[in-house]
């Protein structure tokens, strides 16, 4: 998650070399399962989401863009002691999102700008087990990580939100929005558990994967 946020921030800042036709935002997100998905797994997902937009023509209030997201949906960890070392075992369920977005957003200089998004793409479900070795006598540590095979699920939907300018030039803004995505039927893992021997277990589920996703973040564009 740290790597995703840092990478998104670097890409967002790199937009300073482009014209006003480009904008980007980095948001905090929470995904709330809906319908069958909620019955199978009530855990909410927490993570980050980044949007990158291009406006083809200034006089037409349409932007096209790409949205990337990463969230953790259920995580647990446990410490174990050996003769010389401590170990930390972590298990988590994760979702990576790759979405294409078309945004309708009329210009409204210096004022709050509402927008509507049409969204289509994929949510990628995978689970990860990480074993970290911690020594008693130094700061040295090593780790081993393994992920399950990714399960791709097509998703589509819409979002509504507002963009609040934070300065007179309107090159920085506060973005608040909420999306609803209809997710296709797929397999995924839930309820990570670690026993006293360090063995990790998950529960396998299958359902549609509808989500309600509120988001808040910062938008940057360059004049």
Tell me the per-residue pLDDT of 53-92, one tens digit each, with 9 for 90 and over.
999 888 889 999 999 999 999 899 999 887 778 889 999 9
pLDDT score at 138: 55
Reading the block at residue 76, the tokens are 């647990």
- Are residues 87 and 133 in contact, defined by beta-carbon separation less than 8 angstroms? yes
Q: Which domain holds residue 28?
A: 2-221
Average pLDDT taken over every residue of the chain: 87
Phi, psi (degrees; rounded to nearest 5) at 136: -75, -35
* pLDDT above 50: residue 18: no
- CB under 8 Å to 168, separation ≥6 — which residues? 110
Euclidean distance between CA atoms 150 and 64, whole angstroms: 27
Euclidean distance between CA atoms 175 and 107, whole angstroms: 15
What distance lies between CA 86 and its chain's CA centroid? 31
* Mean pLDDT, residues 135-158: 82
Closest C-alpha among 45, 20, 21, 22 to residue 11: 22
* pLDDT above 50: residue 14: no
Tell me the per-residue pLDDT of 177-204, one tens digit each, with 9 for 90 and over.
999 999 999 999 999 999 988 899 999 9
CA distances from 136 to 33, 139, 141, 142 (A): 41, 8, 10, 13
pLDDT score at 59: 85
Please tell me the chain's helix, strand, coil percentages from 3-state DSSP, rounded to the nearest 5.
10, 65, 25
CATH value at residue 123: 2.40.160.20
| Cα torsion 115, 104, 29, 111: sign | negative
- Are residues 37 and 210 in contact, defined by beta-carbon separation less than 8 angstroms? yes
Reading the block at residue 174, the tokens are 């506060």
- Are residues 210 and 182 in contact, defined by beta-carbon separation less than 8 angstroms? yes
pLDDT score at 140: 59
* Mean pLDDT, residues 34-48: 94
pLDDT score at 82: 75
* pLDDT above 50: residue 13: no
pTM of the model: 0.83
pLDDT score at 109: 67
Reading the block at residue 77, the tokens are 């960890």
pLDDT score at 5: 47
Number of domains comprising the chain: 1
Angular region, 141: left φ>0, alpha ψ -120 to 50, beta rest: beta
Instruction: Work out the percent of the chain whose per-residue pLDDT is above 90.
Output: 66
pLDDT band, residue 46 (cuts 50/70/90): very high
Which of 137-146, 164-173, 201-210 has the lowest average pLDDT? 137-146
Tell me the per-residue pLDDT of 97-138, one tens digit each, with 9 for 90 and over.
999 999 999 877 668 999 999 999 999 999 999 998 887 665
């Amino acid at each position: 998650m740290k790597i995703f946020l840092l990478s998104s921030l670097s890409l967002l800042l790199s937009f300073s070399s482009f014209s006003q036709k480009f904008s980007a935002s980095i948001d905090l997100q929470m995904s709330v399962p809906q319908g069958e998905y909620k019955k199978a797994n009530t855990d909410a997902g927490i993570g980050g989401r980044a949007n990158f937009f291009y406006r083809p023509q200034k006089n037409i209030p349409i932007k096209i863009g790409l949205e990337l997201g990463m969230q953790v949906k259920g995580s647990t960890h446990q410490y174990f002691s050996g003769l010389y070392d401590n170990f930390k075992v972590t298990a988590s369920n994760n979702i990576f999102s790759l979405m294409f977005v078309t945004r309708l957003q009329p210009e409204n200089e210096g004022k709050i700008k509402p927008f509507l998004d049409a969204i289509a793409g994929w949510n990628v479900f995978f689970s990860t087990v990480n074993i970290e070795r911690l020594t008693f006598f130094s700061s040295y540590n090593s780790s081993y990580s393994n992920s399950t095979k990714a399960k791709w699920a097509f998703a589509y939907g819409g979002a509504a939100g507002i963009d609040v300018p934070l300065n007179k030039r309107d090159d920085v803004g506060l973005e608040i929005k909420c999306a609803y995505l209809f997710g296709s039927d797929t397999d995924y893992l839930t309820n990570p558990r670690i026993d006293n021997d360090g063995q990790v277990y998950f529960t396998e589920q299958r359902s549609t994967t509808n989500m309600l996703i509120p988001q808040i973040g910062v938008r940057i564009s360059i004049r």
